[in-house]
């Protein structure tokens, strides 16, 4: 039986690893959070307290970690995946991280004799649970093809993006567009309300009109309209403001490096940072809606 090690069992890693277990793989999970490991056990994933134990017998290693610094810590150094995993293991990083770190991990893995792809995802926790994620996979074409088999139980779409780091490049641009669409939903939902529109009536119109977007369909920031929206659960995170600010920051950094002007992305990044500054970084990113409604009524 193929053994898959899964590192990072959070909002996304939990349902994604559970789908691999459901597909019949032997899944060995590890997370620094005991709570995340307990939740993974409930869904058919064996868990291990140390990375070293989790990596035993791994044919494939997936990582789903918050930021580039976490990915570097997990892959590099004497106690990292590259030092400890079986040398023939295929390494797949699905975290959203900066292109430079992704390229660095590619080089470090290849120098140590590993196959590695950067394979970030889009689709949110609802897509992770429903196994309908889009994977953007960067790396050598033959390695991307090998990764496809193990990604399939979690995906609706798997796209080969090109050379090392291009999966992350695609993901950073995609998420920048998502957050700009979220800001449009935030402003639109409050304005529609203040103009006296029933929220359901307005959503029904926008969802089949030119105002439609993935953000509108999945994260619409008004309670009682879209099942998957954090607005239904007091903005408990499905995608935290901290992670969203990280992604918006990656886009702004890429804009600076390439000389591209990104005023809309900058505006959303500032609002996400405002949530963090108010101590609301663990809340859902769609809570930026409150800045469109200074009277507090979302
Ligand atoms: P999360 O914070 O819920 O999960 C990350 C997990 O990694 C946590 O459980 C944390 O304890 C664990 N972790 C951190 N350092 C570790 C280490 N050294 N060893 C083992 N485990 C460690 O985040 P998430 O929402 O699951 O997102 C994960 C990644 O996927 C991020 O890069 C995010 O940007 C991206 N992403 C998130 C969504 C979403 O909707 N939440 C959608 C697409 C992509």
What pLDDT sits at residue 68? Answer: 97
Indicate the top mutation candidate among 9, 31, 38, 76 to test ligand 1's pocket, ranked by most ligand atoms within 8 A of CB.
Answer: 31
Average pLDDT, the chain: 97
Task: State the Cα–Cα distance between residues 85 and 258, nearest whole angstrom.
Answer: 36
79-101 pLDDT tens trace: 999 999 999 999 999 999 999 99
pLDDT at 296 over 90: no
- Mutate which of 5, 9, 11, 37 to test ligand 1's pocket (most atoms within 8 Å of Cβ)? 11
297 pLDDT more than 90: no
**87 is an active site residue:** no
269 Cβ closer than 6 Å to some ligand 1 atom: no
Give dist(CA 7, CA 28) in Å, integer. Answer: 9
The Cα-based distances of 34 to 13, 71, 79, 139 in angstroms read 14, 19, 20, 33
Query: Does the beta carbon of 7 lie inside 6 Å of ligand 1?
Result: yes
Check whether 295 has a pLDDT greater than 90.
no
- For residue 70, which atom of ligand 1 is closest to its CA? 15
With cut-offs at 50, 70 and 90, classify the pLDDT of residue 267. Answer: very high
Share of the chain above pLDDT 90, in %: 98
Q: Would you say residue 78 has pLDDT above 90?
A: yes
d(CA 286, CA 259): 28
**CA nearest to 61, candidates 32, 99, 28:** 28
Distance CA 97, CA 18 (A): 23
Domains observed in the chain: 3-162 (3.40.50.720), 169-292 (1.10.1040.10)
Predicted confidence (pLDDT) per residue in 116-168, tens digit: 999 999 999 999 999 999 999 999 999 999 999 999 999 999 999 999 999 99
Q: Quick one: which H or E segment has residue 16?
A: helix 13-22
Q: Which of 67, 171, 246, 271 is catalytic?
A: 171
């Amino acid at each position: 039986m193929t053994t898959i090690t899964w590192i990072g069992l959070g909002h996304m890693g939990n349902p994604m690893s559970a789908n691999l277990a459901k597909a019949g793989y032997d899944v060995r999970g590890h997370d620094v959070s005991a709570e995340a490991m307990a939740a993974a056990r409930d869904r058919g994933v064996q868990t291990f307290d140390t990375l070293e134990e989790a990596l035993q017998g791994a044919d494939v290693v997936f990582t789903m970690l918050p930021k580039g610094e976490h990915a570097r810590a997990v892959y590099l150094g004497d106690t990292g995946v590259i030092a400890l995993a079986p040398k023939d293991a295929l390494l797949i990083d699905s975290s959203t991280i900066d292109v430079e770190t992704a390229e660095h991990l590619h080089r470090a893995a290849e120098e140590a004799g590993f196959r590695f792809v950067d394979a970030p995802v889009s689709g949110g926790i609802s897509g992770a649970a429903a196994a309908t994620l889009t994977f953007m996979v960067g790396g050598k074409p033959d390695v991307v093809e090998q990764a496809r088999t193990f990604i399939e139980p979690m995906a609706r779409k798997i796209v080969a993006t090109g050379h090392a780091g291009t999966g992350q490049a695609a993901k950073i641009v995609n998420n920048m567009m998502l957050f700009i669409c979220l800001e449009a939903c935030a402003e639109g939902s409050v304005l529609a309300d203040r103009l006296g529109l029933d929220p359901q009536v307005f959503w029904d119109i926008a969802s089949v009109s030119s105002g439609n977007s993935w953000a509108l369909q999945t994260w619409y920031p008004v309670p009682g309209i879209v099942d998957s929206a954090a607005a239904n659960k007091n903005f408990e995170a499905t995608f935290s403001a901290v992670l969203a600010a990280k992604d918006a920051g990656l886009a702004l950094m890429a804009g600076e490096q390439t000389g591209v002007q990104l005023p809309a992305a900058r505006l959303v990044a500032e609002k996400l940072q405002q949530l963090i500054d108010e101590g609301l970084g663990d809340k859902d990113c769609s809570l930026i809606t409150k800045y469109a409604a200074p009277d507090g009524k979302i």
